[in-house]
A and B are shown apart, each in its own frame.
Chain A
Amino acid sequence: MSIQDVRDKYEWIKRLEAFCTLAEGAMATGATRLEDLPMPAIMAQLDDYHKETLGMIQPDFLAACLKPKNRNGLLYHVLALHQYLNDFCDRINRGYPVLYHYFTMTPELFWGFDCAPICYELLPVYSSAIFNEGMTPEIDFTEEMGYPHHLCSAQKGGYAAIVQGSMPKPDVMVKQSTPCDPSSMVFQLTAKKYGVPIICLDTPYYTNDRALNFYKSEWHNMANSLEMLLHCELDVDLLRQHVEWGNQAMAYYYKMEDLRKIKPCPDPGMHRPFDTASLIMMGSNPKFIDYFKIVSDEAEDRANRGQGVIPEGIPEIRTLWGYAWQAWDLGMLDWLEEKYGHTYLTCGVTYFPENLAGYVDTSTRDTMIDGLATRGYYFPMARQPMSFADIWVNDFVKLAKEYSADACVFAGHMACKHFWALNKLLSDALMEKAGVPTLRFETDLLDYRFTPKSEVHKYMDDFFGAIGK
C-alpha cells in the first residue's frame, strides 16, 4: 500500500484531493474570471478522473473563488486541506486506526496519538460546497436505509459515505453531547454498525466555572480512554507541536475578528466558510496558519487603505448571519457583496472571540488538555446551544452593537431544533435592543433541493433591496 493507494480506495478523499489539485492549478494560471481560464491547455494536462471532477464543480463557486479579493483565501485554504488529506492518508497507510470526531473539537489531541483523525461532518460540507450535485445521492441513500428525513444532512452524507466505502470505516469515535441530538445519534448509529467504541463527553448545561471544570475532566477521561483503546500513550511532544500550530492560527483568527469590526468591512464573506473549515482542522498542520495569516494580512492592508470589499458607490450593509452559510451556494456571498454591498461580519459557526477560549497553555500534558477542553467548550455552535436561548440571543445583540450591524440573516437549517425554537426570540431582541432587522427563512444548509436557489435569492433580493433603499 502507498498513500496514493489509500486515496484511490476512498472516493470522497480521492475526489476532494482532485479538487485541490484543480484549484491549485486554476490559481496558478493567474486567471481572475472563469472565461479567462486557458481551458484547452488545462484539459490537455488532465487525466479522465480530473476532467470528470472539473465538470462536477459548481461554476458560481469557482467564479467567485477566482476573484482577486477571494482567490488567496481559497488557494491557501486548499493548500492546507491538501496537506491534511495527505497526512490523514499517510496515517492510514501506516496502519493507524481511524478516529472520527465531532467538528466542535479541534483535533490537536487526536494528532498526538497513533491514529488517523477525521471530522465526521467535514467532507460532506466540502462536497456540498464544491460539487454540483453536492452529496444529495448520499443523503437519499441514508434516508432509504430508514434514517429519519428530518435529521441533519451533514450527518446523512457522512454516514452514507462510510457505509458505501467512500470514506474509511471508523475504529473509534469521539463525540461531545452538544450541540444536538441528531449528531449524537449518528455517532451512536455508526459505532453500533461497525461495533466500535464511542467515547461520549458529557457536556454541561450552562457556562460557569463549575461547568467548565467538569468538562475539562471529561477531556482528561477521554485522553485516558484513548490511550487504552488505541493501545498507545499520548505523545506529549507531538501534541505540543500541534497545539502550537493551533495557537498560531488562532492569533490571526482573533485579529481578523477585530478587523471585521472596521467600517467598511475589509474581509470578504467567502472567507467565512473557509474560516470554519480551517478552525475545524487548524491544529492538523502549519498550512492553516498560512491561511489565517494571508486573509488577515489582506484585510489589514485594505483597512489601512480605508478600502472595503464591496464595489465603490454602494452603501455597505453590514450583516450578521445568525446560524451559518448555505454550503451549497457559497457563491451567493460574493453575489450579495457585489449586488447589495452586503458584508458578512460573523455568524453562529465563526463567532469565537479571544476572551472566551484564548490560547492553549503548552506547559504540560494537563495544561494542554485543559486548554483544548476550554476551546471545545466555547467552540462556535458548541457554546450557543449549551443552555436555553439566552447565550445565543445575548451573543447576537452584543455582536450587533460591536460590529455596527445593519441587518441579520437567519438561514435556518431545517434539522436544528434549537435554532428554530429561538429564532423569533433572537430576531425580536435584535430589533428591540439594536434596531437590526432580520431575514428568517427555512433551508437545508447542505441540500440544495430543500429550498431552491432561486427562492433563496428572491428572499435576498426582497430583503436587501428594501434595506438598501
Chain B
Amino acid sequence: MQEFSYKQRSDRIVKLAKEANVDGVIFQRLSFCDCHGVECQMNGDDLKDAGIPYLILEKVYMPTDEGRLKTRVQAFLEKIGK
C-alpha cells in the first residue's frame, strides 16, 4: 500500500499559512494540469476547514489574459476585506 502523501503536503500548506498569519491563499494552477487541478480543490477544502480564504487562479504559461487575472485577484481581495 502506498503512502497517502497528499496529507503531508496539505498539512504543510495549512501550517505555513497559519505561521505566516496570512489573510488568504492564492493557488495559481496551470490550465489542463490534471493532478494540480484536483489537488487545488482538495487544498482549498482543507484551507476552508482551517478558516483561511483561498482563490484558485487558473492560468496558462504565456503572459496573456492579464485583465481577467487582475479582476479575479481584485475580487478576492475585496472578499477578504483587503
Which residues of A approach B to under 8 Å, CB–CB?
Answer: 145-148, 150-151, 180-182, 185-186, 188-189, 191-193, 197-200, 202, 221-222, 225, 417
B38 touches A188 (CB 8 A): yes
Q: Is the CB of B1 within 8 A of A417?
A: no
B34 and A151 contact, CB distance less than 8 A: yes
How far is it, in angstroms, between the C-alpha of A185 and the C-alpha of B29 when the chains are bound? 15
Q: Is the interface of B mostly helix, strand, loop or mixed?
A: helix
Interchain nearest-CB distance for B73 vs A (Å): 17
Alpha-carbon gap, A72 to B45, bound state (A): 48
Residues in B neighbouring A225, C-beta threshold 8 A: 1
Asked if A189 and B42 sit within 8 Å, CB to CB, the answer is: yes
Number of chain B residues close to chain A: CB under 8 A:
18
Check A148/B1 contact, CB under 8 A, given A188-B6, A192-B6: no
Q: How far is the CA of A188 from the CA of B45 in the complex (A)?
A: 14
* Per-position binary interface string of chain B over residues 43-62, scored 1 when its CB falls under 8 Å from any chain A CB and 0 otherwise: 01100000000001000000
Complex CA distance for A218 and B41, rounded to whole angstroms: 29
CA gap between A222 and B44 in the complex, in Å: 31
Contacts of B39 in A (CB 8 A): 185
List chain B positions with a Cβ less than 8 A from chain A. Answer: 1-2, 4, 6-7, 31-32, 34-35, 37-42, 44-45, 56
Contact A151 B37 (CB under 8 A): yes
A residues in contact with B34, CB < 8 Å = 148, 150-151, 180-182, 185, 417
Determine if A145 and B37 form an interchain contact, defined as CB atoms under 8 angstroms apart.
Answer: no
Contacts of A202 in B (CB 8 A): 2
Q: Could you tell me the distance in whole angstroms from the C-beta of A221 to the nearest C-beta in chain B?
A: 7
Select which of A146, A150, A182, A222 is within 8 A of B31 by beta carbon.
Answer: A150
A-B contact pairs, 30 of them (CB 8 A): A145-B41, A146-B40, A146-B41, A146-B56, A147-B38, A148-B38, A148-B41, A150-B31, A151-B34, A151-B37, A151-B38, A180-B34, A181-B35, A182-B38, A185-B37, A186-B38, A188-B38, A188-B42, A189-B42, A191-B4, A192-B7, A192-B42, A197-B4, A198-B4, A199-B2, A202-B2, A221-B1, A222-B1, A225-B1, A417-B32
**Residues in B whose Cβ lies below 8 Å from that of A192:** 6-7, 42
Besides A146-B56, A188-B42, A189-B42, 15 other A-B contacts (C-beta < 8 A): A146-B41, A146-B44, A151-B34, A151-B37, A180-B34, A181-B35, A182-B34, A185-B37, A185-B39, A186-B38, A188-B4, A189-B41, A191-B4, A197-B4, A225-B1
